[in-house]
Amino acid sequence: MPRRSVGRGNDENAIVALCALGGVGLPERIITPRLILRRPLSDEGTECGIRFARAEATRNRPLTGAVRRKFGAFMVGHWHLYGFGFYVVETRAGRDAIGSCGLKYRDAYPGHWPGRFDEVELGYALLPEYRGLGYATEAAQTVLAVAFANLDAPRIIARCNSDNEASARVLARCGMRELRADRLRHFELLRR
C-alpha cells in the first residue's frame, strides 16, 4: 500500500487528501506477540471513554462524564476522518481491552478537530493493572513502525507530563529523543 500523506503545513490540499482516505491509512488490526491492536468500532465510543477514564484515574482530577464521552467520540471520529487514530489495545491471551495506543494530529483532542496537519503525535493510556508489564512499549513500538511504513510523516512526536517517569521510559525505549521539558516532556522520532 502506498504511503499516505499527512500534510506539510496547514493547506487545503492536505485536508482534502486526508478526508479522501475514507478510513484507509493505517491497518485496522495489528497483531503483536502479546497484543491485538484494533480500530475501535463505531458504536464503541462509550466503552473507550470509560476505559480511558479508568486509565487516567491516577491523575489529579477525575474525568467527568462529558470528557469521557468526548474522548470516545474522538477515538472513533479521528479514524473516520483521517484514516488513523487510537487503537483499542487487547491482550491476545484473554482478549481483555486494556487501554488505547495510537496516533492523532497534534492539534486534535477530544472536542476539537485539528486546524493544523503538519505533526502526528503518539499517545497511549493503559489501565493501571496492566502497567509495568511492557504492554505500552510493545504497543507504541508497533504503532510507530506501522505509521512510518504507511504514512508520509517526517517525524512523530509524543508528550508526557513532566513527572511521568514511566511514560518517559516507554518513549525512550521506542527510540524517541527528548527535546525539552517544561510542564510537559516533549519527544520526537525521525523517519529513518
Supply the pLDDT for residue 123. Answer: 94
Supply the pLDDT for residue 22. Answer: 34
Supply the pLDDT for residue 96. Answer: 86
Could you report how far apart the first and last alpha carbons of the chain are, in Å?
19
Tens-level pLDDT at each residue, the chain (192 residues): 455 555 443 333 333 334 333 334 899 999 999 999 999 988 877 777 777 777 775 555 566 777 778 888 888 899 999 999 999 999 999 888 999 999 999 988 888 888 888 899 999 999 989 999 999 999 999 999 999 999 989 999 999 989 999 999 999 999 999 999 899 999 999 998
Q: What CATH number belongs to 4-153?
A: 3.40.630.30
User: Which of 95, 88, 103 shows the shortest CA–CA distance to 143?
Assistant: 103
| The Cα angle at residue 124 between residues 165 and 57, in degrees rounded to 5 | 75
Supply the pLDDT for residue 115. Answer: 86
Q: Are 133 and 167 in contact (CB under 8 A)?
A: no
109-113, long-range: CB < 8 A, 24+ apart: 109/74, 110/67, 110/70, 110/71, 110/73, 110/74, 111/70, 111/74, 113/77, 113/81
Supply the pLDDT for residue 116. Answer: 84
If one counts every other C-beta atom within 10 angstroms of the C-beta of residue 153, the result is 22
User: What SS3 class is residue 56?
Assistant: coil
Distance between CA atoms of residues 166 and 169, nearest Å = 5
Q: Are 84 and 78 in contact (CB under 8 A)?
A: yes
Supply the pLDDT for residue 112. Answer: 87
Where exactly are the structural domains of the chain? 4-153
